[in-house]
Amino acid sequence: MLESYLNCESAEHVAWHRLNAAPVSAHWSIEDEPEAALHRIHAYPAKFPAFLTRRALAYAAEQDMPVGTLGDVFCGCGTVAHEARRAGLAFWGCDINPVAILIAKAKSSPLRGSRLRLLAEQVLAGLENAQAPAHAPEVEAFLLHWHSTEQLENLGRLLTSIQTVTPSRSPYRTALLCAFSSILRSCSYWKTWSTKPRVDPAKSPRAVNLAFRVACARLARAYEEATWQEAGPAPRLHLADVRTVPVPKQRPDLLVCSGPYATSVDYAELHQLSGAWLGHFDEFARLRRASIGTPLVGAKLRDRHAQLNRVGLQVVFSLYPRDPAAASAIANYFVDMQQVAARCLEFLAPRGIGVFVIGNARLRGQVIDNAAHFTEALLEAGFTRVRVVRRQIRNKATSPFRDSLGRLQRDPSEHRQYDQEFVLIAHRP
């Protein structure tokens, strides 16, 4: 399909002209088929639209670039991993979030729905004799903040029963743990529909047994409805940071990634219940400190500004008079993303292609130009050219508006967020 792109070959040109001339593309905006049910088995913020993987594979074919291995350095809940296995391709990916890796493994395993249903019933039948696990005092205190004593006991027995019924390395245990993780917020006092960890003391949490049975039935149906052209090899999923993970021995021919936005949601906060229940309580404290993103803390601006590229400097120092703390955080984010661009060049096979989906944000009335910044970073890292289009976002689940102070909200305002993203297609020499 003949598409029009903004072709960027000069980092300096991007710094001065940004991506204002990038055309809007219906091809990269409109889905060609309904998403597989497996992509909806667990709530996950800012999910990557599955059809973009198919668009990226089609683009690689147009460029006469054979793809044997697909990759994603921010693999999240495994959308690209699932699409790779569905297409019969090898996959390599990493993510710093252990809950994301759990969901990704469940989504990219071609399991039998009938077998999962049988195991789920065995788990529920074993609850009577199961004993809730003991927690460290700090974990116990954390969980009691979110669950009643009865819910805590019931969830603990459910977790023990899952571990009793399934072998430790079984993909069916992974699937059942994914179902367990998916019910934790509904079985707690976490405020319904909230993207922030807020207690609602008036909430009536769901019954654990019923919630788990429903989640497993939904998961079993998703596996039964899944279409695998020829299931590829098991994906190589690494719990690791893109900035430090070793270069894979079999380097991907095509990377398809959607990194965090500046001013993005805090993924550690959203998955803290699952982290505590699944044995990652301490790891999530580290995750908050180590994630790429923009909590409004971090290194002093003077320690980061020397590493910023030109777009990064322009954005950070335009924001600084309005909010020095936010400017420091954005500087941290930009420097980290420049390192990500360099690492992606290392990961890709010769002549490989990276497809990156990234959007801009707005903070204190200032546009945070993530897309132009990352385009400049890709060119400075050594990619020979970056082709750019815009895609319209038609159904963004998370808060799409900001108030006058730049805070995310669901209520409509003139400050619309995330109504479009940029697709950056980077060619490796």
* Per-domain boundaries in the chain: 6-97+230-266+281-427, 113-225
**Tokens in use for 237?**
């999923």
The type of residue at 136 is A
User: Phi/psi zone of residue 264: left (φ > 0), alpha (ψ -120 to 50 degrees), beta?
Assistant: beta
pLDDT at residue number 106: 97
- Using only the alpha carbons of the chain, give its radius of gyration: 22
pLDDT at residue number 399: 44
| Helix ranges (DSSP H) in 291-413 | 301-304, 310-319, 324-347, 370-381
The CATH number of 6-97+230-266+281-427, from 2.40.30.170, 2.40.10.10, 3.40.50.150, 3.20.20.450, is 3.40.50.150
From first to last of its 429 residues, the chain has per-residue pLDDT tens of 567 999 999 999 999 999 999 999 999 999 988 889 999 999 887 788 999 999 999 999 999 999 999 999 999 999 999 999 999 999 999 999 999 999 999 999 999 999 999 999 999 999 999 999 999 999 999 999 999 999 999 999 999 999 999 999 999 999 999 999 999 999 999 999 887 889 999 999 999 999 999 999 999 999 999 987 666 789 999 999 999 999 999 999 999 999 887 766 566 778 899 999 999 988 877 777 777 866 555 556 677 788 999 999 999 999 999 998 888 889 989 999 999 999 999 999 999 999 999 999 888 888 999 999 999 999 999 999 999 999 998 655 444 444 544 444 555 554 455 579 999 999 999
Angle, in degrees to the nearest 10, between helices 370-381 and 324-347: 40
> Which of 187, 158, 174 lies closest to 78, judged by CA?
174
Helix (H) or strand (E) holding 354: strand 353-358
What is the per-residue pLDDT across 361-373, written as a single tens digit (0 to 9) for each?
A: 888 888 999 999 9
pTM as predicted: 0.91
pLDDT at residue number 218: 97
Q: Provide the b/e sequence for 358-389 (b: ≥16 CB within 10 Å).
A: bbbbebbebebbbbbbbbbbbbbbebeebbbb
Cα dihedral: 310, 329, 49, 422 (round 10)? -20
Q: How far apart are CA 93 and CA 347, in angstroms?
A: 10
Q: How far apart are CA 165 and CA 10, in angstroms?
A: 58
User: Which letter does DSSP use for residue 201 in this model?
Assistant: T
Q: How far apart are CA 112 and CA 378, in angstroms?
A: 42
End-to-end C-alpha distance for the chain, whole angstroms: 24
Q: How many angstroms separate the Cα of 126 from the Cα of each of 102, 123, 160, 161?
A: 23, 5, 9, 6
**Tokens in use for 409?**
């909200």
pLDDT at residue number 405: 44
Residue holding tokens 């894979």?
248
Q: How far apart are CA 99 and CA 236, in angstroms?
A: 16
Paired with 362 in beta bridges are 367
